[in-house]
Structure 1
Amino acid sequence: MASRFTLPPELEREILETAALRYPEMIPPLLRICRRAQIWLEPLLFRVVDLSHEPQLLAAESKDPTFLQHAVRNVHASFENRPDAISRYNKLLWKCPGIINLSVDFNLDDIGAGALREMRLKKLAVTVPSVISTWYLAGCTDPLFQSITHLDLFQGPRKAKSEWRHWRGLARLPALTHLALSPTIAIDILADVVVECPRLTLMVVAMYSWDSLAVKASLTLRATDPRVVLILMASTYPIEWKLGALGGDDFWVRAETFIDRRRAGEIGSTCYLLDENATTQPLRLPINHRRT
């Protein structure tokens, strides 16, 4: 009888992990192949976690802290009007110091600073509160910002003007190369960011088609710096975030591609608005070479 052919465990693991990373939807059935496949692949199932979805939150809460520490790398959390949400998020985030990509749509003050400082965050998306908060007053000088390369700051309809003195710390962040601002923030500080943050390689003003007020507000901006892209996205933020967390071409990547095309002359040099809802060439915005 011919001997049964088996792959070396290292090669078998590499094949399964490659398939799981390329096709995340295949992870659950792959877990059922055998015990060793479950050990190898289950951490990949928790590499990207949206705590706003109760089943994912419950699944993460059921795991051992050691497992979470080595598995969880990307987390999105929204308040969702659940009275116990912040408390549950807090307990879980303490167990996930390996997170490198975090998105929260509530005040960072609601999360224990100690938990955040245990992480080495590379990407952070956060809602700027309508009331003054501790981290906002600190001007991004908190240690938790020191390793961040991509920072996305969102603010809804503003109740008060943003002042550059509160954001001056952006210019001193050693790793920051990519900055995204919602229009309500960009209107107040983009001109200062362009001048004070020479290390930035990309500045995005992110808008969504459903937010007509933001779109109108963006039209008052005068973009002249080649690193700036005003992008009107067709998809929702949760879709954008998950796309990036899974390694896809999210708005950061698409904005960089837009800049490359503009530098190559495929797009007019005075074009700063990438309208992803349009089927024609991106719209041009008025140019003003003076700081406003």
Structure 2
Amino acid sequence: MLVARRVKFWVEPLLYHVVFLSSTSMDEARNLDLPSFTADSVPDDYFRHVRHLFIDQMSVNQTDFEKWLLACNGTTNLFAQFDCTPEILPLLSGFINIRYLTVDVRALLGTTVSLPLFLTVTHLELLNYTHKSVDRASENISLIPHLTHLALNSDLQSRSRWSHAALCANTQLQCIVFLSAKISLEGSPLLDDNRFMCIDERVRYYSDWLHGAVFGEDYWSLADTFLTARRAGKIDRTYPELLK
């Protein structure tokens, strides 16, 4: 990159394709030959090449956090590990190409679902899915125009039957995943829905995200493979759970 401008143009999009900003496990990112960034790194013009962004607000101060969100708006795969407060939500308006999104459920409350962020999302994972917000979020899920895959990440023992019925009624969804080791589905209409499955994850969430960003192999690809096999009759349709 220091020798020839044309080499710089070839290499930069590859070098800055994946950015992992978290103090959780930087060693794992380095083992995958990803470049290392400190939270206070000044985002430069080359960050327009970022397509996969994992950002943990606990690892970045507020000023740097805002800079990163503004600099990486070409991202297509965003793991937003932060609270979606009214102050944070406007910073997400610059993301207009997101397909894979992991985000706080509060981003779906009120009128925020109309943000440009949601116009292109096909795969959505919701964090902090509390019983208090379950009904309002369920209503707004149907307003995301291109959403085909939905994952709920939390302890699902307290899920209301109304939310299950709403998910079943959403014909746009092709895959409904519950990411939980503790789940009660007695009487749930999801048990009769061939789009539904429960994945009992045995790997850390950031490891799964990193392997999805680098190799294209994550719980989403696993879910598609599982559902395809079940629809083809290779797996019992009454068996909704998969260990990972």
TM-score, normalization by structure 2: 0.80
CA distance in 1: counterparts of 2:238 and 2:77, whole angstroms? 33
In structure 2, stretches of 5+ residues that fail to align are 27-34
Q: 1:44 to 1:110 in 2, by over 3 A?
A: farther
CA distance in 1: counterparts of 2:197 and 2:171, whole angstroms? 16
CA distance in 2: counterparts of 1:270 and 1:134, whole angstroms? 33
In structure 1, stretches of 5+ residues that fail to align are 1-30, 208-214, 277-292
2:100: which partner in 1? 123
1:198: which partner in 2? 171
> How many residue pairs end up in the alignment?
228
* CA positional deviation for 1:220: 4.8
Could you tell me which amino acid in structure 1 is paired with residue 197 of structure 2? V
Deviations 1:227-261 (A, max 9, x none): 01101122110011111112422101111111111
1:107: which partner in 2? 83
SS at match of 1:179: strand
**Maintained 8 Å contact 1:139/1:170:** no
2:183: which partner in 1? 217
TM-score, normalization by structure 1: 0.68
CA distance in 1: counterparts of 2:232 and 2:104, whole angstroms? 35
Which residue, out of 55, 61, 65, partners 1:89?
Answer: 65
Could you tell me which amino acid in structure 2 is paired with residue 123 of structure 1? Y
Q: CA RMSD in A?
A: 2.8
* CA positional deviation for 1:56: 3.4
Could you tell me which amino acid in structure 1 is paired with residue 47 of structure 2? L
Which has the bigger relative contact order, CA under 8 A and spacing at least 6?
A: 2
Q: Are positions 1:52 and 2:25 aligned together?
A: no
2:109: which partner in 1? 136
CA distance in 2: counterparts of 1:97 and 1:260, whole angstroms? 33
Deviations 1:157-200 (A, max 9, x none): x4x434323431211211111100124468232332111x1011
Which residue, out of 31, 46, 55, partners 1:67?
Answer: 46
CA distance in 1: counterparts of 2:42 and 2:136, whole angstroms? 43
2:57: which partner in 1? 79
**Maintained 8 Å contact 2:152/2:177:** yes
Could you tell me which amino acid in structure 2 is paired with residue 117 of structure 1? S
Which structure: larger Rg?
1
**Maintained 8 Å contact 2:20/2:53:** yes
